[in-house]
Every structure is written in structure tokens, then in C-alpha cells.
Amino acid sequence: MTDTPLPSAFDQTVQRVETILSEKGFKFLQADTMRPLLEHEGLTDWDTFASSWNDLGLDLYMADGGRYRRRRYATFSVNDGLITRKPHQPHYQSRDHNLLNGGIERWFGEIEPHIASHPAMLAAIRTISRFADALTPSEEKPESWHTEVHQFRIEAQPDSEGRPTPEGMHRDGVDWVLVLMIGRHNVEQGVTTIHDNQKDLLGSFSLTKPLDAAIVDDHRVYHGVTAVTPQNPNEPAYRDVLVITLRHE
């Protein structure tokens, strides 16, 4: 009789995350949990990856007139672990999903090639696509995932807060969302809230450390993030995140 091998620590973590996502529709993963998942998918050279957030262009599409958001953008196709970058294209959301900035094509600066192909980027894409593949029923699973990647920096000024989700509580109009903390400097608040279909609060947490993460089933829950403000008004204040969304092609 052959003994069944015990699942590895990695497999156990994956199973726990999948179970919670299946039950609740969202999961907050602290850095100590998220790092091994990313390392399993090839995470290396984090500092070089994180430093690229210092070179993002200003988002000029903010309908609230704000100049507190910087970003770069890219799209990929993900098919059974194969990641292929698509030609640069605009980001579009309907006004049903983004009442503030939706309804128009928004052309953002491209994510630099060496960052789009960076081991940290590829590891993050593989990680969220692993969960998407596992949790999407086979009859609903697309041949490939249309994957949108956003580098965001939200800046806060002494007289002007930075708003990570200026559209408020929302859905992104996709299937799955990964939010990965890159870093915070001199900011307070930035609390993520998760809400059910009736918009009642299900949970809240703060991404504070690099590699803290949230995974969201966009069909099942709404999410939002409170504004950030400077701790010290005399120093730069900002919140950097990577957001990856997956939807059917």
C-alpha cells in the first residue's frame, strides 16, 4: 500500500486561499503569506521592480479635477500560464462600473518593457491567474484571460488628500482582481473595504507592507479604499500598488 504524500506548505496555503475565496469572494493576504506564493512563480529582484513606481506619468483623466494619481498601464493575454503582452491600447470602463471616469477611452503611458517582463510582474500575473483558473468553473473558463495591469501611485498633499478609489465603492467590471502593495511612504489611512451585493460591509483591512495583497472575485463583492493623508506635511506622501485584473477575452 502506497502512502499518499502530504501536501506541501505551499499547497496547503493555496488550498486555504482557494477555500476562503470560494466561501467569501475575497481574501486579504499578508506579506508573509503572499511572498511564498510569488516566489513559487519566480519572484526575484523586488527592489528594482518597486523602484519603477518612481517613474509614472500623471493621470490627466480625473473627472474630479484631481492631480493626485500617477500610473502606467499594459495588457496581456494569459493562457495556461503563457503570458503574452498585447499591443498598447486604451483602458476603458463603462459608466456602470466607473461613474466618475468611465465611458471614455483613457490612454495611459505604457509600462516599460523591462518592467512588463520583470520576474516580479510575471509572478504576480501567474499567481492571480492560478487562482482564477482554479476557481472558475470549467464550463465558464475562457481559453485565455484578458489581463490588464496598472501601476498606481496615489499622492497626498497637506491640503489635498489622495484618493485610491475616487469612484467610491465599486466593481471593476472584470472577473478577478489582485491588488499588491508595493510600498507606502508617509501616509495614513488607505483602508480597503469589501461589501456584498447589498453594499453592506463584509470586511476591512489595510495593505501596509510591501507584498501585502488582496484578491477579489469581482462578480461577488464590491471594494473601495479610503483616502490617504500625509503623516508629516513636510515630506512627500504616497501609496504605491500594482493592480491586475482578469476577464474573459
Per the CB < 8 A criterion, the answer to whether 225 and 192 are in contact is: yes
Identify the pLDDT of residue 101: 57
Average pLDDT estimate for 61-66: 80
Rounded CA-CA distance 193/245 in Å is 18
Please determine, for residue 229, whether its predicted confidence score (pLDDT) is greater than 80: yes
60-86 average pLDDT score = 91
User: Can you tell me the distance from the alpha carbon of 57 to that of 13, in angstroms, rounded to the nearest whole number?
Assistant: 37
pTM over 0.85: yes
3-state SS, 114-179, equals HHHCCHHHHHHHHHHHHHHHHHCCCCCCCCCEEEEEEEEEEECECCECECCCCCCCECCCCCEEEE
Spatial distance between the Cα atoms of 227 and 213, rounded to a whole number of angstroms: 18
Q: Of 244, 242, 248, which Cα lies nearest the Cα of 216?
A: 244
Mean pLDDT of 213-217: 98
Q: What is the mean pLDDT of residues 22-47?
A: 98
Coil, strand or helix at 34: helix
Q: What are the tens digits of pLDDT across the range 136-179?
A: 999 999 999 999 999 999 999 999 999 998 888 999 999 999 99
User: What is the residue-averaged pLDDT of the chain?
Assistant: 93
Cβ atoms of residues 62 and 119 within 8 Å: no
What mean pLDDT do residues 112-136 have? 97
For residue 1, pLDDT over 50 is answered with no
Q: CA torsion 26→30→33→37, rounded to 10°?
A: 70
